[in-house]
Amino acid sequence: MEPTGIFEHLLFSIGPFQITSSVMTTWFIMVLLALISLGLTRRLTTVPKIVQVILEASITAMENTISAVIPEHTKLVFPFIASLWIFILISNLIGVVPGFYSPTADLSVTAGLAILTFLSVHWFGIRAEGFKNYLLHYVKPSVLLLPFHIISEISRTLALAVRLFGNVLSLEFTALLVLMIAGFLVPVPILMLHIVEAIIQAYIFGMLALIYIAGGIQAQELHKEKKQRENYND
């Protein structure tokens, strides 16, 4: 597979697998986050210091956001959505570090995240109501809607990948062009814009994934409630 990002380049190959700069940066971010998580969670105390306060506040904020969308399944969905937010945020922000480019400016990376979201929607939906009942909601209220459901699933997955890729790539391009034309001091406002936009794009991607998952789960719950009312009326 050829590199799919403007700033992407091939580092080496292992048989048919090509290791690009985005792959290496992605693995670097994952290892870094794992080490930071281990370091922070091993030093938790009952009297928190500033770092622990920030960590607990961040987790609480993410948990409250998820709870506002899908309150009955917050604990089930939280690990996935929180991981998405943190990983995408760091991936977006690493582009401001000299020598690094954001892996989310590579379409193959954002496509992978979108596919992971696509699979998670069905995974959580099946866990909520079972395999058979989950599949049945695609033909409710009529089997004629099945093609439209399939098109919707595919199109929103593509939109997730392209939206994040396009926004992060435009930020990388803007910073690079201003740096080449104006020198090192002028791009400071562009750098601030990059940071703000990186936060916004991570939040939007995670929220869309959360809404899609909530839709899959709640569709099953609505179907179950409707069935219970019909049985009660009978």
Other C-beta atoms within 10 Å of 193: how many? 14
DSSP state of 18: E
pLDDT at 171: 78
The whole-number pLDDT of residue 229 equals: 53
| Residue 71, phi-psi category: left (phi > 0), alpha (psi -120 to 50), beta (remainder) | alpha
Picking from 176, 161, 166, the residue whose alpha carbon sits closest to that of residue 197 is 166
**Per-residue model confidence (pLDDT) at position 207:** 95
Residues of the chain with pLDDT under 70: 1-10, 178-188, 190, 219-234
Residue 144 is predicted with a pLDDT of 82
Is the whole model's pTM more than 0.85, yes or no? no
Exposed, middle or buried: residue 62 (CB in 10 Å: 0-12, 13-18, 19+)?
Answer: middle
Span 164-182, pLDDT tens digits:
998 888 877 777 776 666 6
- Contact predicate 40/32, CB 8 Å: no
Residue 220, judged by CB atoms within 10 A of its CB (0-12, 13-18, 19+), counts as buried
Amino acid 223: pLDDT: 52
Name the CA radius of gyration of the chain, rounded: 21
In three-state form (DSSP H/G/I as H, E/B as E, the rest C), the secondary structure along 98-163 is CCCCCHHHCHHHHHHHHHHHHHHHHHHHHHHHCHHHHHHHHHCCCHHHHHHHHHHHHHHHHHHHHH
Predicted local confidence at residue 197, as pLDDT: 87
The per-residue pLDDT for 234 is 54
- pLDDT of res. 8: 63
